[in-house]
Structure 1
Amino acid sequence: MSPEHIGFALLILGIFLLLGKWIRMRVELMQNLFLPASVIGGFLALFLGPGVLGRIAGNFFGEDSFWITGILTEEIMEVWSSLPGLMINIVFATLFIGTVLPGLKRIWNVGGPQLAFGWSLGWGQYVIGLLLALLVLVPFYDMPPFVGALIEIGFEGGHGTAAGLQETFADLGFPEAYDLAVGMATVGILSGVIIGIILINWGVRRDKTKIISNVKGMSAMKKAGIVEEEDRNSGPEKTVRSESIETLTFHFAIVGLAIFIGYLLLEGITWLEAALFGSDFMTYVPLFPLAMFGGLAVQFFVDKYDKHRLVDRQMITSIQGFALDILIISAIATVSLAVLGEYLVPFLLLALFGILWNVFGFFVFGPKMLPDYWLERAIGDFGQSTGVTATGLMLIRVADPETESPALEGFGYKQLVFEPFLGGGLVTALSAPLVFQFGPIPFLIFASVMLLIGLLMGLLYFGRKKAE
C-alpha cells in the first residue's frame, strides 16, 4: 500500500463526510432521525462500494468488470478498514486529558452501573446462543454446539475477532462458522446502528432522554446541525504560539504520547505475563483500554507540571470528535454484506435471538440499573453489545452530541474490566474452543453464573442506590 493510496483514500473519506453533512442539511428525514454526517456518509459509501453497487454490477457485467468494487477501489477499502482500529485508540486516549482526574469512588459510581449492564448483555448472549444451539441448531441442523457462541463473537467481537478465529473454526472441524461469524458481525453493526437510532428517536419523543428534547421546538438550523451565528464562540484556545508549534499539532502530540504510553504498558504487561507465568492472556486485550490509562498518566503529569495551562480541554475534545467521525464513517463503509447460503436459517435464528435479547435488556435492565441519563448511557452498551465498541460510541454521540451526560465517561470506565474478557477479549476468543473441549453444558452454567452476577449487581446494588 503506497502513501499515495493512503492519502487518496483519506481524501475520498472526507468527500463522503461532506456529502453526509450536505444530505443532513437538505433532507428533513435525516434531521428528524438525528443522524450524524458520519453515519449518513458511511451508509452512502457502503451502498456505492463493493458490498452493494459492486455486487449489482457483477451480476450485469461479470466478475471481471471495472465496476465490481463499485466506485471505490480495493485500495480505498483496505485503508478504510484499518481506520476504526486506529481511531478508537485516539477516542479513549482523550477521555481524561485536560479534565480533573476522577477518584476511585467516581469510577465505581459512574462506571459500575455501565459494567453491570454491559456484563449482563454480553453473558446473556452466550446463555441465549447456547440454549438455541442445544434445543434447535444441534438436533435439527446438525451443527456443533459451539455455534451458540457466535452471537457474542460476531456482535461484540466484530469482524476483527471473527477473522482472527478463522483458523480456530477450521481446527474445530466447522470452518463454515467463520462465514456465520462474519455475517453476525455485519448484521450486528447494521442492526445496532438502525435499531439504536430508532431507540434514540423513541426516547426523544417519549421524553426519556435528558440531552435531546423538545424536538418540535427545535429551530431548522439546529435540526440541520448548524450552530446559530450568535451562538458561535471562539472555540478552543490557542495555548502556544504558532511560530513554535501550532496549538492543534501540540495537542495531537499529547494524544499520541498517551497512546504510546498505553502501547508500552500493553507490551510490558504481555512480556511480564509470558516471563512469569508462560501464559498469553494479555495478547487478547486490545490497545484502546491501555490508551485510556496512557491518557490518565498524561493528565496526572499535566496536573502536576503544566503551570502555564498549555493543555486545553476543548482542543482535546475536538480531536476526539474528529477521531469519532472517522471511526464511524469508515466502520460503516467497510461492512461486509456477503450472502450466507447453506446455513441461512440457523444464521437468522442466531441473529434474531441475539437482537431480541439486547432490545429486551435495553428496555428492562437499562432503566433499572443505570442511575441517571439511563437512555444516553444504555444506548452505548446496546450498540456495543449488538455491533462492537464503535457502534456504541456512535450511538452515544447521537444521543449526547456535546458529551453533557456521564454516558461516554461511564462507557470508558467500563472497558477497563469489560474488554479484557468480553467484546473481543479473552472469553470471546476462547469461547468456541472451550465449548468444543468441555461441552456446552459446563460453559452454559458458567455463562449463567456470570449473567446472574451482572444482574444482581445491576438490579440489587446499583438499582437500589438509584431508588435511594
Structure 2
Amino acid sequence: MESWNLDISAGLFFLDFAWMGLLLIVATYLRSRVGFLQKYLIPANLLAGAAGLIIGMNGLEWIDLNSERLGTYVYHLLALLFIALGLRAPKKRLGMSSIKFSLIFLAVYLVQAIIGLVVAFILFYTFMPDLFVGIGLLPPLAFGMNPGIAYSIGGNWENFGFESGGIVGLTFAAFGFLMAYTVGIWLVRKGIRDGEATYIDSELSLSEDIRTGIVRAPKGNMRERITTSPESIESLTFHIALIGLVYVVTYLLMKLMEAGLIRIDAANEITTLWSFHFIFAAILALSVRKIMNVMRVTKVVDDMTMTRCSNLFMDFMIVASVAAISFQVILVYWVPILSISILVCIATWMVIYYLTSDAFEEYRFERFASIFGNMTGTMQSGLVLLRILDPNMKSPASYNLVYGSGLALVFGFPLLIVINAPVHYFSDLVQGFWVVLSVMTLYLFLIFIAWNYLKRAKT
C-alpha cells in the first residue's frame, strides 16, 4: 500500500517522466551511432535506465531521480502493462507448441527458485546468518517474469525483515538483462556459426534498421485500426482511458478486499494483497474484455494499439527499474546476488537447451534463443534474440513465446502464493522457506511427468 501513499507533487511526477523520456531519446540516438551498442543490440530502454542510474540520485546526482519514486512507478506501470495485455482479444487456439513453451517456462521458474534457495541456505548456514533466505526466490521473479513483479514481492518482504528487498529484486532483474544481451547474443552468434539457425547463415544478414534501432524508410502500420472518430476522441486517448478505467476498478476492488481482511481480523495479509495488485488488474482486464465481447462492443478496442500501450509501459518500467538500483544495496548484498545470479543463469541455459532439444524437431535454436532471452530478461529480450535468427518472424517461435508465457503465468500463479507462505504462516521464516523448497521440488517433479507425456505430441 506504500506505493499508493507516496507523497509527491504533480510537478515532480511529470518531471520524473520527462527525465526518463529525455534519457530514452539520448539512448535511442546512442544506439543508432555506437557500434558496440549495435553489436549487442542493447535496447534504448535498458541503456536509458543505466544512464539514469549513473547520473541520478544513486550515482552522480546530476538529476533528481531517486529509488523510492522510481520503485513506485515500476509498481504501477506493472499493473498498467498487464491491463493493456489483458484487454486484447484472447487467442482461441494455443497449439501444442505453445503448451510445451509454457511447461518449459514453468520448469525454468522452478529450477531458478530451487537453485536460488539452495544457495541462500548455504550462505545462511555458513557466513551470512542474518541473510533473509527468501532472497533466493527473487531470480524467477526478476529473470523469468519481470522487474515489476520482483520489486513488488521484494518490497512486500521488507515488512518481514528483508531490508531493501524491492531494490534487491530490481538488481537481480538488471543482472538478468545483462545476461540476456551479452551471453544471449553470444549464444545466438555461436549458433549461427555452428549452422543451427534455420533462416540465416551469417550475422551480416541482420538488417540495418534492427542494428541501429531506427527505421530508415518508415511505412504505415496497416495492422493498427483507428476505432474512434477524431473529432469526438482520439483513438489512442480512448484506449488509454479504457486502461485507466480498469485500473480504477482494480483500486476499488483492492480497497474492498482490504476492508474484508480487516473485518475477518486478517490485517497482516494486507501488504501481501497489495503486492499482488497486478494479478487482480490482469483478471479484471480479461473480465472487461469478456463483458465487451458479450455486449458486442469490442470493435472499439484495437489489439495493436493495446500492444503499443503495453510496450510504452514496458519501456518506462525498465528505465525506472534499472535507474532505481542502489549501489549501497549492492555493496550489502553483492555476495548472494552474484553467486545466485551466475548459478541461476547457467542452470537456465542448460534446462532450456535440453528441453527445446528434447521436444522440438523444427526451429529448435530459434525457440531456445527466444526462451533464454525471455527467462533472463523480458519478452522484449526474447524477441530481440529471435529477430537476429528470424528477421521476418517466419517461425512460430514468436507466437509460442507470447502465448506460452501467458499460459505459464496462469499455471505459475500458485507459486506466487507459495513463496509468501513463510512470512505469514510460519513463526520461523527459515523453516517456512525449507517447506517452500520442498513444495517447489515436488512441483518440478510433476512438471517433468507432464513433460514426458507431452513432449512428443505434434506441434
Report the TM-score, using the length of structure 2 for normalisation.
0.78
The 3-state SS of whatever aligns with 1:87 is helix
Contact 2:246 / 2:281 at 8 angstroms: preserved in 1? Answer: yes
Contact 1:24 / 1:37 at 8 angstroms: preserved in 2? Answer: yes
Contact 2:247 / 2:281 at 8 angstroms: preserved in 1? Answer: yes
The 3-state SS of whatever aligns with 1:237 is coil
TM-fit CA distance, 1:366? 1.8
**What are the residue-to-residue correspondences of 1:187-266 with 2, within 5 Å?**
187-205=171-189, 206-207=191-192, 215-229=203-217, 231-234=219-222, 236-266=224-254
The 3-state SS of whatever aligns with 1:249 is helix
Contact 2:139 / 2:341 at 8 angstroms: preserved in 1? Answer: no
Name which of 36, 39, 42 aligns with 1:32: 39
Partner of 1:455: 444
> 1:19-44 deviations in whole A, cap 9, x for unaligned?
01000100111112111111111111
Contact 1:83 / 1:330 at 8 angstroms: preserved in 2? Answer: yes
Partner of 2:399: 405
> 1:302-339 deviations in whole A, cap 9, x for unaligned?
32333572211111111111111111111111211116
1:395 and 2:381 correspond = yes
Unaligned 5+ runs, structure 1 = 54-69, 170-176, 384-391
Partner of 2:50: 43
TM-fit CA distance, 1:400? 5.6
Partner of 2:145: none
Contact 1:92 / 1:412 at 8 angstroms: preserved in 2? Answer: no
Partner of 1:376: 370
How far, CA to CA, are the matches of 2:124 and 2:51 in structure 1? 36
TM-fit CA distance, 1:109? 5.9
The 3-state SS of whatever aligns with 1:459 is helix
Change in CA separation of 1:119 and 1:285 when aligned onto 2, cut-off 3 Å:
farther
Change in CA separation of 1:340 and 1:315 when aligned onto 2, cut-off 3 Å:
closer
How far, CA to CA, are the matches of 1:82 and 1:340 in structure 2? 20
Identity of aligned residues (%): 16
Partner of 1:353: 339
Report the TM-score, using the length of structure 1 for normalisation.
0.76
How far, CA to CA, are the matches of 1:308 and 1:408 in structure 2? 21
How far, CA to CA, are the matches of 2:84 and 2:197 in structure 1? 25
Change in CA separation of 1:111 and 1:317 when aligned onto 2, cut-off 3 Å:
same
Partner of 2:135: 150
Contact 1:20 / 1:38 at 8 angstroms: preserved in 2? Answer: yes
Change in CA separation of 1:197 and 1:268 when aligned onto 2, cut-off 3 Å:
same
Contact 1:162 / 1:182 at 8 angstroms: preserved in 2? Answer: yes
Change in CA separation of 1:147 and 1:81 when aligned onto 2, cut-off 3 Å:
closer
How far, CA to CA, are the matches of 2:305 and 2:111 in structure 1? 36
Which range moved further: 204-213 or 26-35?
204-213
Partner of 2:146: none
Change in CA separation of 1:267 and 1:186 when aligned onto 2, cut-off 3 Å:
closer
> 1:123-160 deviations in whole A, cap 9, x for unaligned?
432233213422x22xxx5x24x633323258847455
Which range moved further: 448-457 or 278-287?
278-287
Unaligned 5+ runs, structure 2 = 1-7, 142-148, 361-366, 388-392
Contact 1:151 / 1:184 at 8 angstroms: preserved in 2? Answer: no
Q: Give the letter aligned to residue 355 of structure 1.
A: S
How far, CA to CA, are the matches of 2:210 and 2:410 in structure 1? 35
Q: Give the letter aligned to residue 121 of structure 1.
A: Q
How far, CA to CA, are the matches of 1:211 and 1:51 in structure 2? 44
**What are the residue-to-residue correspondences of 1:206-355 with 2, within 5 Å?**
206-207=191-192, 215-229=203-217, 231-234=219-222, 236-269=224-257, 271-272=259-260, 278=266, 280=269, 283=273, 285-306=275-296, 309-338=299-328, 347-355=333-341
The 3-state SS of whatever aligns with 1:229 is coil
Change in CA separation of 1:160 and 1:278 when aligned onto 2, cut-off 3 Å:
closer
TM-fit CA distance, 1:394? 5.0
TM-fit CA distance, 1:118? 1.1
Contact 1:435 / 1:443 at 8 angstroms: preserved in 2? Answer: no
Contact 1:183 / 1:337 at 8 angstroms: preserved in 2? Answer: no
How far, CA to CA, are the matches of 1:120 and 1:335 in structure 2? 25
**What are the residue-to-residue correspondences of 1:92-111 with 2, within 5 Å?**
92-102=82-92, 111=102
Contact 1:379 / 1:395 at 8 angstroms: preserved in 2? Answer: yes
Partner of 1:178: 163
TM-fit CA distance, 1:274? 5.8
> 1:74-117 deviations in whole A, cap 9, x for unaligned?
5x665433221111112111224232354799896654442333
Name which of 115, 124, 133 aligns with 1:124: 115
Change in CA separation of 1:322 and 1:339 when aligned onto 2, cut-off 3 Å:
closer
Q: Give the letter aligned to residue 374 of structure 2.
A: G
The 3-state SS of whatever aligns with 1:52 is coil
Contact 2:373 / 2:379 at 8 angstroms: preserved in 1? Answer: no
TM-fit CA distance, 1:275? 5.0
Q: Give the letter aligned to residue 339 of structure 2.
A: F
Contact 1:196 / 1:382 at 8 angstroms: preserved in 2? Answer: yes
Q: How many residues align?
A: 420
Change in CA separation of 1:270 and 1:467 when aligned onto 2, cut-off 3 Å:
farther
Change in CA separation of 1:336 and 1:13 when aligned onto 2, cut-off 3 Å:
same
